[in-house]
Amino acid sequence: MSRPFRLASLAALSLALLAGAASAQTIKIGVNEPLTGPFAASGTYVVNGAKIAADEINAKGGIGGKKIELVIEDNKSNPTEAAAVAEKLITSDKTPVMMGAWGSSLTLAVMPKLMDYEVPMLVETSSSGKITTSGNPYVFRISPPSSLEAELFAPKVDKLGLKKVDFLVINNDWGRGAALDFGAMLKSKGVEVGLVETMDQAAQDMSAQLAKIKASDSDTIVITTAVDQLTLIFKQMAALGLKKRVITTGGSQNPDQIIAQAGAAADGTLHLTTFLPWDPAKTPNPEATAYFLGEWKKRGFEFAGATESFRGYDGIRAIAAAIEKAGSTDPKAIQKAFWEVKFMGLNGPIQFVKTGPAGKESGQSKPQVYLIKIDGGKVSLVEL
């Protein structure tokens, strides 16, 4: 090693130590979200929601006199990157708890790292069943798994008069899981399940899949993917003259973004969402919802992002509640304290129930699920 290089690395090392000492005054929370790639829109909204929660908590004096500090990293919508980000957050930034990682495949890629380093993670968006049933005791989820989403949707199936359903899902753990869980629920209700078509997460042209669905004798298409791909699907459906009932799942639709980008092509579509920002009075915690939406608006963010960003807001609040209960920033203590968290989130009570194999259960909170309809550029709650 040459002399200047040795000096430089020594300087870098001391700088890193200094930085470590300075930030000992804050409590670090790792945030592992897709800020680029196909899920960039959603990940960015979640991070903005997280920032609102952090600022709110810090404005009230932080936790035990210490301010919280979000360490935000981009997982590029890529499972390999998501695992690398988790490793970086845990080993280099020393975050005792994390939030992430938006997509199911991203979260599943991170989960072995949680086992390796024994650090808990709050899962804010992912809906694959595998996340809470694979026996990872470091996982605490506030978003509904697709089985719960299907179960809450079940009573509406008869009233909508579904006969035969085709699926068009994103080709990853999220989409395939949703097709499985909704398919099983529909079959149990006597609804026929036809095609299950998939699309790559980066795909932009779904005309081939849609042409196939157009030729089938189904009356309804259940679609699972994020907002950008949904926008494209609606436009391409209109172009193909494909007029079947559409129901989307997963809660990452951002209906107002769909209205803005797909226009009339989105008219008549139904969506299962997990937040009702259009009607704050009807949400489980109207006061907190009003505060969150006010803050969202004050920061100049587009209203469309609210349905996604609330997950980041509630996620950070749940993490802060756990740290407060733990009374320390030891990952083990925080993991234990998650079981005692209980407060009213923007979408119902946040309280973790044990799920998965005995002895190494994951935590799952049970949120609300709403069915909404887009018509004439407006969103309305469908009450059946």
CB of 257 to another protein, least distance (A): 9
CB of 238 to another protein, least distance (A): 6
Give residues 227-246 in contact with another protein (rule: CB under 8 A).
228, 231-232, 235-236, 238-241
Q: Is 166 in the site for another protein (CB under 8 A)?
A: no
Of 305, 331, 371, the C-alpha closest to 118 is 331
Q: Is 375 in the site for another protein (CB under 8 A)?
A: no
Closer CB to another protein, residue 85 or residue 350? 85
**Element containing residue 130 per DSSP (H, E):** helix 130-133
Closer CB to another protein, residue 171 or residue 328? 171
CB of 254 to another protein, least distance (A): 10
Give residues 243-262 in contact with another protein (rule: CB under 8 A).
260-261
Sort residue 323 into left (φ over 0), alpha (ψ -120 to 50) or beta.
alpha
Closer CB to another protein, residue 250 or residue 331? 250
- CA distances from residue 331 to 104, 186, 193 in whole angstroms, order as listed: 23, 41, 45
Q: Is 198 in the site for another protein (CB under 8 A)?
A: yes
User: How many Å apart are CA 334 and CA 110, to the nearest integer?
Assistant: 18
User: Which residues touch 97 (CB under 8 Å, ≥6 apart)?
Assistant: 29, 30, 119, 120, 121, 122, 319, 322, 323, 331, 334
Centre a 10 Å sphere on the Cβ of residue 268 and count the other Cβ atoms it contains: 14
User: How many Å apart are CA 292 and CA 50, to the nearest integer?
Assistant: 11
Q: What totals of helices (H) and strands (E) does the chain contain, helices first?
A: 13, 16
Give residues 94-123 in contact with another protein (rule: CB under 8 A).
none
Q: How many residues bind another protein (CB under 8 A)?
A: 38
Q: Is 124 in the site for another protein (CB under 8 A)?
A: no
Binding site for another protein (CB under 8 A): 35-38, 40-41, 43-44, 171, 197-200, 202-205, 207-209, 211-212, 214-215, 228, 231-232, 235-236, 238-241, 260-261, 263-265
